[in-house]
Structure 1
């Protein structure tokens, strides 16, 4: 066991990010924060709040696929059901926004644990298909249950008062709150990635049999990563429901799972800032091309194929590779 620990320590030291990489990440984070602060002066705050929610969703998904190598086609389950429970808690139960978001987040964590316990028994395409099947099953549950509102969803969700005295009905206050939630989630994911736990996840992604030979129970690590990813997706879904004041079937349907895959690949799979950039690019494109109707899906498809064929690292991945060269 001692030999295994020393071998693992060697792997972790070898994978420590360089000083220049850390410096680049710090600069990137500062630029992102400054951009989020000044952005409301140039575009709609509601659009930016929605984009930050989806950026956190994409970052949560990237934690699973980019650093563990597990492709989930059912992440809409955690995003959507967290959205429903947060909206229901705020509107029907009268919870303050922080408790409504906590309710949705706990719902996503429980769903993630149950789904992950089943899905991690298989690998590759079988894992992906199990996650998709579970998500679609819960989609039909959402369609039939009364509290979800069926095809109408839960509308007119009150934003309420944060901690009982901070009124979130004001867009500026709500924007600051969403930005804090997004940055907190982003920093948490960054810490996970650069922790010893994160190094084990990367080792599992690169060579699972070797990680097993070093004494790690990889299924346990994959389940923890799955639950963390689902929980953070739940934070994003809950915050989105309070921000946009609606939870609908769109949040839990399979195209939402496909959209978060697209955001991650366009931005840069396995990069810390890639999902954020991808989320803003895809949502901005949808916003600008809303007048073309269903053709926006065709345009998204073309962009997806182009990224896969020409920019396999994604936007941030290609920029990072350019600076390395």
Structure 2
């Protein structure tokens, strides 16, 4: 009965909003913002993986490049930070055009490897273009201007940045619930049939690739402002791998699963670092393997499957 009530979409949305608003009261505010930004990145990855069938290991390029673009705008223009973050997202979407155009012509592991290769190229450029990115030092002291409002306290910054994340999540939800999203699912399930029905498959893939990159850039730019820095870690391939892990943990093709996976991974890593554990990757990797073995559809996907089985 409880699962049946929670399954109602308005109740879920309201519950998710309440959790998002209450999060910094129960979690250290910078960690709460990390959960929010990583959740948006995971949802961006799920748009490709869960709804289009494209596994991307290149989203670090969009997260990291948007972080640099947002940082440069913030440091050199004095724009309000939401405008700088939006500028970073636009830059990520523009970067996705050539990368996506060349990548979507491939499928399966080939698509994953091509996106990874492009992400490594972005990493190389960020590392070598020291006049702009400061190389290994990264951009430091990224400001948080917002019409004179003091956002130096992370608690208040969380609520200033949360609407950006919520708008990004709303955009992803709207995409998958639209006729465009239904075509993406058709392409995922049977691209040859979708092409026979007259849909330009590669064009649809390119558009969703750009949308996913923009959402990843939105998350990366906000993360840079939250931390006050943009570094090479953001464009490293491990960022892409961690986002994919969050999606698989929560449940591929659910959107909610990416949010849940992000919360679990970020919280676990914070707990391990606070406990001064030297090998957090061992623990997170073990949890990942355990979940994959026991919950084949991810945590959220498994619960949703149980609910549907009981309803029948």
TM normalised by structure 2 equals 0.93
Is the Cα–Cα contact under 8 Å of residues 6 and 12 in structure 2 kept in the other structure? no
Give the deviation of 1:23 after TM superposition: 5.7
Superimposed CA distance per residue, residues 4-49 of structure 1 (whole angstroms, 9 cap, x where no aligned partner) = xxxxxxxxxxxxxxxx899623222111111122222222111101
Distance 1:294 1:69, change over 3 A: farther
Which residue of 2 is the match for residue 239 of structure 1?
A: 222
Which residue of 2 is the match for residue 266 of structure 1?
A: 249
Asked if residue 281 in structure 1 is aligned to residue 264 in structure 2, the reply is yes
Query: For 1:73, which of 57, 64, 87 is the aligned residue?
Result: 57
Which residue of 1 is the match for residue 161 of structure 2?
A: 178
Is the Cα–Cα contact under 8 Å of residues 82 and 164 in structure 2 kept in the other structure? no
Superimposed CA distance per residue, residues 98-134 of structure 1 (whole angstroms, 9 cap, x where no aligned partner) = 2211221111001111100010111111111100000
Superimposed CA distance per residue, residues 232-255 of structure 1 (whole angstroms, 9 cap, x where no aligned partner) = 000000111111111111110011
Give, in whole Å, the separation in 1 of the partners of 2:117 and 2:6: 39
Which residue of 2 is the match for residue 155 of structure 1?
A: 140
Query: For 1:224, which of 194, 203, 207 is the aligned residue?
Result: 207
Asked if residue 83 in structure 1 is aligned to residue 58 in structure 2, the reply is no
- Unaligned segments of structure 2, at least 5 residues: none
Give the deviation of 1:301 after TM superposition: 1.5
TM normalised by structure 1 equals 0.90
Give the deviation of 1:149 after TM superposition: 1.4
Root-mean-square deviation over aligned CA pairs: 1.6
Matched residue SS, 1:269: coil
Give the deviation of 1:173 after TM superposition: 3.0
Superimposed CA distance per residue, residues 246-279 of structure 1 (whole angstroms, 9 cap, x where no aligned partner) = 1111110011010001111111110021000000
Give, in whole Å, the separation in 1 of the partners of 2:5 and 2:305: 12
- 1:1-325 equivalences under 5 Å are 24-146=8-130, 147-161=132-146, 164-290=147-273, 291-325=275-309
- Unaligned segments of structure 1, at least 5 residues: 1-19
Is the Cα–Cα contact under 8 Å of residues 126 and 133 in structure 2 kept in the other structure? yes
Superimposed CA distance per residue, residues 168-189 of structure 1 (whole angstroms, 9 cap, x where no aligned partner) = 3243431112221111111111
The number of residue pairs the alignment matches comes to 304
Give, in whole Å, the separation in 1 of the partners of 2:168 and 2:238: 24
Give, in whole Å, the separation in 1 of the partners of 2:169 and 2:234: 21
